[in-house]
Amino acid sequence: METKQINNEKIIENEIDWKQHIRDVHNDMADDIEYLFPNNSTEAFMTAIWKMSVDLLERIEVMVIVDNKDDLYISSGTPSLVSFKDHEDELKIGDKMKLPLKCCIHTHPSGKAYFSDTDWNTINTWKSDIESCIVLGKNEYLAYNPKSKLAKMVHYGLLENNLRGEQ
């Protein structure tokens, strides 16, 4: 597979358009997605974001903002930071972004789903205009409602030990 650099964004030749893939999965699941307490449809959407971040884009952070019209604004960054720098075109797609935002999802390609100091600064800045924040890690996610401060942490995969609380 051959890669090339265009405007600080890696493009994989002869492969899928990663942003369009995320949009397609979202469109397929949109009627069933629940951001505050993610369900199976939401998890399928989040898996598509994770796979683009880790598998296709070689472990760089990806952010997907879902506005109140269900429009997606997508960007990628570095292994440890994501913004809309070099993705300004995403902010001009369709109508203007409509508040409140339904969700801001981003990946931590290092594998751990947690809110970093930078994430908390963003959450605190946007808390009156955002309904849910989700961070994705390897086989885990953390969904958070900034208004109620309720969170849902999920780890998933194969259960290899018994359920008696032993490690």
Domain assignment of residue 40, yes or no: yes
Token code pair at residue 62: 């990806």
Whether 81 and 14 have beta carbons less than 8 Å apart is answered as no
Domain carrying residue 150: 18-155
Cα dihedral 114, 116, 118, 121 in deg (nearest 10): 70
Domain assignment of residue 87, yes or no: yes
Domain assignment of residue 117, yes or no: yes
Residue with tokens 């609380």: 165
Domain assignment of residue 75, yes or no: yes
* pTM of this prediction exceeds 0.85: no
Domain assignment of residue 161, yes or no: no
Taking only the tens place, the pLDDT of each residue in 51-103 is 999 999 989 999 999 999 999 999 988 888 787 677 677 777 667 889 999 99
Domain assignment of residue 160, yes or no: no
Please report, for the domain that includes residue 113, its CATH number: 3.40.140
Taking only the tens place, the pLDDT of each residue in 99-158 is 999 999 999 998 899 999 999 999 999 999 999 999 999 999 999 999 999 999 999 877
Type of residue numbered 91: L
Average pLDDT for 9-22: 69
Q: Give the count of domains, the chain.
A: 1
Domain assignment of residue 7, yes or no: no
